[in-house]
Structure 1
Amino acid sequence: MTRPWLSVIGLGPEGEAGLTAGALAALGEVAHVVCAERHAGLLPEALLAGKTIHHWPAWHQAEAVLRPLEGQSVAVLGTGEPFHFGVGTSLVRWFGIGALRVFPASSAFDRACARLGLSQQTTPCLSAYGRSLGAVLLQARPGRTLLVLGDGELGLRLGPALTAMGLGASSLTALSQMDGAGESRLDARARDWDQSVDPITTWAITPEADEDANPDWPALRHEPFGLPDGAFRHDGKLTKREVRAVSLSALLAAPGGGLWDIGAGSGAIGLEWLRARPEGQVFAIEPHGERRGFMDKNARRFGLGHDERDRFTVSGAHAPDAFDAAGFSPDAVFVGGGLSREGLLEGAWQALNSGGVLVANAVTLEGQAVLSTWRERVHGDFTTLSVSRGEAVGRFTGLRPLMPVLQWVGRKP
């Protein structure tokens, strides 16, 4: 086993006062200290005397600084708990756990929960540093506070995004430099947030619906998928709620988070996939311009479309020509349209990762014929989905059937 040579020391805004005796002893033993400039500024010069200080431009770029020091006595200073959105996991990936001794400090989430009276084990603790804002907002629901690590500008981005979701009345709390000399707190409604705060801030988001918000909108619902049809803008070409729920239950049996949504229409399948797997990614293919416009509006209802890092991308090309632009191999593929296009199923199946799931729905006889031929080649399972909905018939209620759907589901070996 590798001899430990790298001491990973968590550091809070209070500086030396927050270090344990073990952390102080480890820091005293090393010849090199690797950290961000602000971390070195939190410690007295006497603690760092006689040591060579190496600054990294960002923690995820620290390997280039550390690699030449491998095997020497080195301390890495990180923020709070190094293994909760910190440098710790990267260090293990680069050098192995055997190289590390770890001395954590209280995390920003510990401190925020203590100030707000939150139960940390039931509070989603997330990060917007270097990550998609959409992956955070996909998890916003009324009645559940989120804690989010972010910079001082995050409130200015959260306000418009939450308002577009029907959550403009949400409460935002910015907790900055907790336990440091410059500790501060600022509270406001999301729709009213209009200022920047300290760049070292933990944000509490307590979602609250606007009075005029549509109760069918995604952020006001609690089911993981199978949202009401009214959650989406569409032109009628929508995978209906009941069929969508069955389709997603099959798709979500796939490992991994990457989905291709072919014939995406309103984007309902791809958006609900991300609602269930916020860290996933979707490549949606929809050549119809008006439907892509609906998709953009629907994405904003889910909290997407406000960050270029959001992992929901749309192609206006036809399948299978669009496949090369996906940028990733899918773990799941949904085919909601275009079955008759030559090479579509073959190309999607070839691109699908091993163990992945392909779900194809057909309502036309032509599409069903394609699926029958396809099943002869790769097997898989057929299901017919027939749904009737209750509707008023005078003062009585009748059942009006929707178009039946033939669904094929296959898992790639």
Structure 2
Amino acid sequence: MSESPWLTVLGLGEDGFDGLSPSGRQVLDRAEVIMGPPRHLSLLPETGAERVEWPVPFSEGLPILKGLRGRQTVVLASGDPFWFGAGSVIARNLDAGEWTALPGQSTFSLAAARLGWPLESTLTFGLHAAPLTRLRPHLAPGAHAILLLRDGKSVAELARYLTETGFADSALHVMQALGGPRENTRTVTLTEALLGTFDHPVCVGLEVSGAGPALSKASGKPDHIFETDGQITKRPIRALTLSALAPQRGEHLWDIGGGTGSISIEWLMCDLTLTATSIEPRADRAERIRRNADALGQDRLNVIHGTAPAALDGLELPDVVFIGGGLDPDLLHWLHQNLPSGTRLVANAVTLESEATLAQWHEKLGGELLRIELAQSAPLGPRRGWKSAYPVVQWSVTL
């Protein structure tokens, strides 16, 4: 670890050098190397420092940056580098004593000030390197969001996506080069966004409107939002299962026998810090899980085509395991022998054989054994009666 920071991550606005604080100007005056994207470098006057363009993709710049150790270096980033910016990536790859940061005014703050929107109740998204489907769980009439987009063409892509999801009445406040001499704000309909041209850097204030379906915030999302071949944990059982899984901030889930992926996808929807791996033995179902995750804005789901327990070797260890398919004594034995103490396990069983397996392991390890029986109304001749579903036995235990 260095005795003093050799690197400063400097937040730069569209007004360039003129918008820097005195401390930011001093940092530039002392810099031996200035590294950043070409657009940011163009906003600064010559200082005598060596200039290094950050390459694309972004990850290729990290080895170059590490090669500058021992020289006073400034990395230029947009606005606040730690709000959907490069700051956190750089910090993860260096020791704490090697770097410091001088954030500038964030694009989100500037956009909220132009629109008069309270940031505490406005959704914020960095979509310059993420799919637009990240918006899907949050699309509901009346929602306000500020979106950072990759480039001017992304405005039309956003308009198409909102139309496809049923929110064609939404309004877009397209803000270009905020905070600089080229600043321009236009409020457009989705049709105007499709026909217009916009310049980078661009962000959009989104006012969601339309008849598109909003997704419930509760566990147990409607079955119809998932593409399925029928192998799905149905909504009421899924809600009870998510309750038993009890997701907590930062935890990782193994969803064994993923089927449609509904459990792991809903797990991820609970909190942005959660992660999950879905393991599915059938290739067609693994592909379907991938499609469902992407369509519902959970592209960070890791999908593994393979059979447990063989497919579990080498995976990031879980905090929680759900077994929705492929339940057998060998799998439970492997989990018991290989997972650390404190790992939570939830397994659902429908067949008599798998029920017997859970009863045996419940006797061995304890935990909670729950029998869930549900019935729905259905036509019975000219009247109605109850049609029972197969009962589900659920075992929950902490190893």
Q: TM-score range by the shorter chain?
A: 0.7 to 0.9
Rounded Cα–Cα distance in structure 2 between residues aligned with 1:338 and 1:234: 18
Query: How far does residue 249 in structure 1 lie from its aligned partner after superposition?
Result: 1.9
Is 1:12 matched up with 2:10?
no
Query: How far does residue 174 in structure 1 lie from its aligned partner after superposition?
Result: 3.1
Q: Secondary structure at the match of 2:204?
A: strand
Rounded Cα–Cα distance in structure 1 between residues aligned with 2:141 and 2:365: 44
1:395–1:111 CA distance, 2 compared to 1 (3 A): farther
Rounded Cα–Cα distance in structure 1 between residues aligned with 2:226 and 2:253: 19
Rounded Cα–Cα distance in structure 1 between residues aligned with 2:395 and 2:192: 45
Rounded Cα–Cα distance in structure 2 between residues aligned with 1:296 and 1:74: 41
Match of 2:52 in 1: 54
Match of 1:104 in 2: 103
Rounded Cα–Cα distance in structure 2 between residues aligned with 1:139 and 1:301: 13
Match of 1:311 in 2: 300
Q: Secondary structure at the match of 2:260?
A: coil
Match of 2:176 in 1: 176
Q: Secondary structure at the match of 1:270?
A: helix
Which runs of 5 or more structure 1 residues have no equivalent in the other structure?
305-309
Rounded Cα–Cα distance in structure 1 between residues aligned with 2:149 and 2:315: 27
Is 1:404 matched up with 2:391?
yes
CA contact (8 A) 1:166 1:301 kept: no
Whichever residue aligns with residue 85 of structure 1, its letter is: F
Rounded Cα–Cα distance in structure 2 between residues aligned with 1:328 and 1:275: 20
Is 1:375 matched up with 2:374?
no
1:166–1:287 CA distance, 2 compared to 1 (3 A): farther
Query: How far does residue 369 in structure 1 lie from its aligned partner after superposition?
Result: 0.8
Match of 1:339 in 2: 327
1:354-381, Cα deviation, whole Å (9 max, x unpaired): 6433211112211101212233444332
Whichever residue aligns with residue 38 of structure 2, its letter is: E
1:347–1:159 CA distance, 2 compared to 1 (3 A): farther
CA contact (8 A) 2:258 2:324 kept: yes
- Residues 258-407 of structure 1: pairs in structure 2 closer than 5 A: 258-278=252-272, 280-285=275-280, 287=282, 289=284, 295=289, 298-299=292-293, 302-303=296-297, 310-312=299-301, 314=303, 317-320=306-309, 322-323=311-312, 328-340=316-328, 343-347=330-334, 355-389=342-376, 401-407=388-394
Rounded Cα–Cα distance in structure 1 between residues aligned with 2:91 and 2:120: 25
Whichever residue aligns with residue 278 of structure 2, its letter is: F
Whichever residue aligns with residue 360 of structure 1, its letter is: A
| Between 402-411 and 314-323, the greater mean CA deviation after superposition | 314-323
Rounded Cα–Cα distance in structure 2 between residues aligned with 1:244 and 1:233: 16
Query: How far does residue 294 in structure 1 lie from its aligned partner after superposition?
Result: 6.4
Rounded Cα–Cα distance in structure 2 between residues aligned with 1:96 and 1:300: 34
Q: Secondary structure at the match of 1:193?
A: helix
Q: Secondary structure at the match of 2:189?
A: strand
Match of 1:76 in 2: 75
Query: How far does residue 196 in structure 1 lie from its aligned partner after superposition?
Result: 6.0
Q: Secondary structure at the match of 2:255?
A: strand
1:30–1:263 CA distance, 2 compared to 1 (3 A): closer
Rounded Cα–Cα distance in structure 2 between residues aligned with 1:233 and 1:88: 37
Query: How far does residue 391 in structure 1 lie from its aligned partner after superposition?
Result: 6.4
Match of 2:142 in 1: 143
Rounded Cα–Cα distance in structure 2 between residues aligned with 1:191 and 1:375: 61
Normalised to the residue count of structure 1, the TM-score between the two structures is 0.80
1:371-394, Cα deviation, whole Å (9 max, x unpaired): 122334443321222334466889
Q: How many residues align?
A: 394
Which runs of 5 or more structure 2 residues have no equivalent in the other structure?
none
Q: Secondary structure at the match of 1:38?
A: helix
CA contact (8 A) 2:145 2:207 kept: yes
1:230-258, Cα deviation, whole Å (9 max, x unpaired): 44454554323222112112224356354
- Residues 192-207 of structure 1: pairs in structure 2 closer than 5 A: 193=194, 197-207=198-208
CA contact (8 A) 2:279 2:307 kept: no
CA contact (8 A) 1:287 1:316 kept: yes
- Residues 245-264 of structure 1: pairs in structure 2 closer than 5 A: 245-253=239-247, 256-264=250-258
Query: How far does residue 22 in structure 1 lie from its aligned partner after superposition?
Result: 1.9
CA contact (8 A) 1:387 1:402 kept: yes
State, as a whole percentage, how many aligned pairs show the same letter: 32
Rounded Cα–Cα distance in structure 1 between residues aligned with 2:108 and 2:223: 37
CA contact (8 A) 1:149 1:203 kept: yes
1:191-245, Cα deviation, whole Å (9 max, x unpaired): 97366633422233333343xx4x5xxxx13324212334445455432322211
Query: How far does residue 349 in structure 1 lie from its aligned partner after superposition?
Result: 5.3
| Between 397-406 and 265-274, the greater mean CA deviation after superposition | 397-406
Rounded Cα–Cα distance in structure 1 between residues aligned with 2:64 and 2:166: 45
